[in-house]
Amino acid sequence: MSRSAGSRANRRGEPPPSPEPLPAPAVDSHTHLDIVLNGFRSEEPADESAVDAEIEAAAAVGIPRLVQVGVDVPSSRWSAELAARHPNVLAAVAVHPNEAGEGAADDDALAEIDRLAALPRVRAVGETGLDRYRTGPEGWAAQEASFRAHIRIAKEHGVALVVHDRDAHEEILRVLDDEGAPEHTVFHCFSGDAAFATACVERGHVLSFAGTLTFGNAGYLREAAARTPLDQLLVETDSPFLTPVPHRGRPNASRLVPHTVRALAEVTGVEVDRLCDALTRNAERVFGRWGTDPTG
């Protein structure tokens, strides 16, 4: 994802109506509320009432907890500030690999990510990683250096690592193995096949599945999910991107997570209420408890 991709996503109109509520609460482990509401105009902070309305809409269908994810310094600050004021939200902070490939992960930016990662409601460093799709070879060295720096920040602060992996499966594992992965490492919007899922699971990593799981051409993802142990699964929106069927092509939102949860239940053969309980437990193990006090 990039700034321009965020702007394009937000021009497609409002997200579709909410689905039937889940029988038990689950967690959206990766969302970009700033992009949903602002089209990634970081200089124009999202209206607090609009943010609260999105969070309430998600809670109404059984998604009461969200992880708001930063992709550069401004959005990471915003994510940390939102989590500090809202008990339903935790934050992740990072410079996205596409931004890093353009030189945005300089010393000042990494120092600010390091500072933010120490805040009590910031529970992950991410999304960071490697992207061989949007960034050409000229930016790969900068991406890898940024990824390694983010891994070290996550380990220093004892928080989770949220990995963006696009067309870079083997390279991602190489860097994680070389640096030593944090205790909790999440492959956001898992995009690999069953063999890659097995390689990640054997290393103890957690796989988070997005609306892509519901796409007709994503049989390889469904096979990967079916092979993933229940205690290593998460779900997410990556909103406003990757909207699940039946609303593919329209903007995504956290209130649409139930579509993905039900698809995951069908793939894994686990009853929806039991799956929701497991997803919540997994999220709390990875990110810690949300609690009722936004100060910590």
Q: Which residues contribute to the annotated binding site?
A: 30, 32, 127, 164, 188, 238
Cα distance between residue 242 and residue 15, in whole Å: 12
> For the CA atoms of the chain, what is the radius of gyration?
17
Distances, alpha carbon 176 to alpha carbons 98, 127, 196, 200, 251, in Å: 18, 14, 14, 10, 32
Burial of 48 (0-12, 13-18, 19+ CB in 10 A): exposed
Cα distance between residue 18 and residue 273, in whole Å: 18
In the sheet that holds 185-187, the strands lie side by side as 27-31, 65-69, 89-93, 122-131, 160-166, 185-187, 206-209, 233-235
Strands 27-31 and 206-209, by their bridges, are: unpaired
DSSP string for residues in 213-253 = GGSTT-HHHHHHHHTS-GGGEEE---BTSSPPTTSTTS---
The structure tokens 């209420």 sit at 273
Structure tokens at 270: 């686990």
For residues 117 and 125, is the Cβ–Cβ distance under 8 A? yes
Binding site for a divalent metal cation, residues?
30, 32, 127, 164, 188, 238
